[in-house]
Structure 1
């Protein structure tokens, strides 16, 4: 069986990260950066065409006050039935090239991916769906790690501004939206986690039937320093 034919290029991504390194921390209302044309139109279009539709049997639907008409949780079945190209990109988000890109961009050392994509992975928002303003969970309780970054990659081909669905970043007091980014094809957003970093797409999605807000997401963590780090050493060789 033929496998995916692309890989993220380490040197190219590090150079890309440097173009926004100086502005990352200064971005308002919280540290973030946006990269358009991240993979290129041809590859992004191929991913869009392979994105699982609403008829995929593995989706779990969320319909709450805080979020509605949102499909997700495909990671619970190990992304079974998802196209290999989509799964490959998710794996690349956990790889060396992408981790080096994030570290160069943010200045955060020792970033740790989550290959289980708890709370992340693949999501699809149907017409009328929304995601209320929120601040994300702050720890991976299973691995005892501190959450540091959120990455969002959008696959909205020919997305119309009137359809809404923009990622909105609000100030600490939630009094105004200070940044807004539509979920257009091949747009990557990297943002730092914080308990007062409010974001979402609170207005109902106005895209027509048959169109959806398609997102790949990944979360990244660091291990807190402990007293055991003071005793760390290299290999002990027998003489």
Structure 2
């Protein structure tokens, strides 16, 4: 089969459509805090393995290592195997967007051709993401970020390896829910000013690979939503780190009030 974004999108659509009612129930159950659902085997196994094989190596990706996070990203898609670009934009197929947004009871939802903060994510041993809120808007601050789509493609990845998504529906002082970054699993999560989430530290000498997309809307998910930058916090065991991160958030937020797009334009976007 000659895979392109159209027929890959059709495969994704068919799996979502087949499981639509159970996914709606899953999302509705968590909607009042951080709505999410996940679906396994979203694509044929052999194709999911091929996607993993085409992922760039760590040294071909952009390293982000600081007190907030440690990960590698790839978003200038014309530098990598063309199949990866087709996969990413398959999740932005109009039928897929409409179906996913319908499952989440949303209207007027859009993909993001610029892959702002999206694209490919790679996490090796010791990589992590501290609890955080995603930036509230798209790159031009015209639309609200409303859904986060994460498609995991590392074969035989186990819960014990770390690198799993964590959501904090009851706040950072309470226990998180862990969603395993299982091979060929799609996770869809609502993003708003209460949708704290993180990624547990990778403890295996391997690389966890993920295809990442965001959906945007003209209106925010919550009436109370306000513009915010990507906001990080420490875990309950990281008291000093949490204080430092709160200061860091405050400084970066103040700068964003002065400069709409920051002191410099965020390079994490696909420039075609």
Is TM more than 0.5 here? Answer: yes
Aligned to 1:126: 124
Question: Which of 203, 207, 222 lines up with 1:206 in the alignment?
Answer: 203
What is the alpha-carbon distance in structure 2 between the residues aligned to residue 106 and residue 167 of structure 1? 19
Q: Displacement, 1:11?
A: 5.0
1:1-239 aligned within 5 A:
4=3, 6-9=7-10, 10=13, 12-27=15-30, 29-56=33-60, 59-68=61-70, 70-72=71-73, 74-75=74-75, 78-142=76-140, 144-201=142-199, 203-208=200-205, 211-224=206-219
Q: After the TM superposition, which of the residue ranges 78-87 and 118-127 deviates more from structure 2?
A: 78-87
Hey, which bits of structure 1, 4+ residues long, moved more than 6 A?
Answer: none
Residues 153, 209 of structure 2: 8 Å contact kept: yes
What do residues 21-59 of structure 1 show as CA deviations (whole Å, max 9, x unaligned)? 133122275110010111121111111111111132xx2
SS in 1 for 2:19: helix
How much does 1:194 deviate?
1.6
The TM-score, its normalising length taken from structure 1, stands at: 0.83
Structure 2 CA distance for aligned equivalents of residues 101 and 126 of structure 1: 33
Give me the whole-angstrom Cα distance separating, in 1, the residues matched to 2:184 and 2:83. Answer: 15
CA distance in 1, matches of 2:26, 2:193: 21
Tell me, in whole angstroms, the C-alpha distance in 1 between the residues paired with 2:26 and 2:161: 29
Query: What's the Cα RMSD here?
Result: 2.1
The structure with the greater share of residues assigned to strand is 1
Q: CA deviation at 1:92?
A: 0.8
Is 1:151–1:190's contact at 8 Å kept on the other side of the alignment? yes
Given that 1:18 and 1:104 are in contact with CA atoms closer than 8 Å, whether structure 2 keeps it comes out as: no
Query: Quick one: distance in 2 between partners of 1:91 and 1:65?
Result: 31
Partner of 1:228: none
Partner secondary structure for residue 200 of structure 1: strand
In 2: Cα distance, 1:87 partner to 1:81 partner: 10
Flag the structure with larger Rg.
1
2:77–2:84 CA contact under 8 A, matched in 1: no
Q: Matches of 1:52 and 1:17 in 2, distance apart? A: 32
Specify every segment of 5 or more residues in structure 1 that has no aligned partner in the other structure, as ranges. 226-239
Higher helix share: 2
In structure 2, distance between residues paired with 1:163 and 1:7: 29
Alignment check: 8 A CA contact 2:15 2:42 kept: no
Answer whether contact 1:3 1:84 (CA < 8 A) is retained. no
- Uncovered stretches (5+) of structure 2, i.e. residues with no partner: 221-272
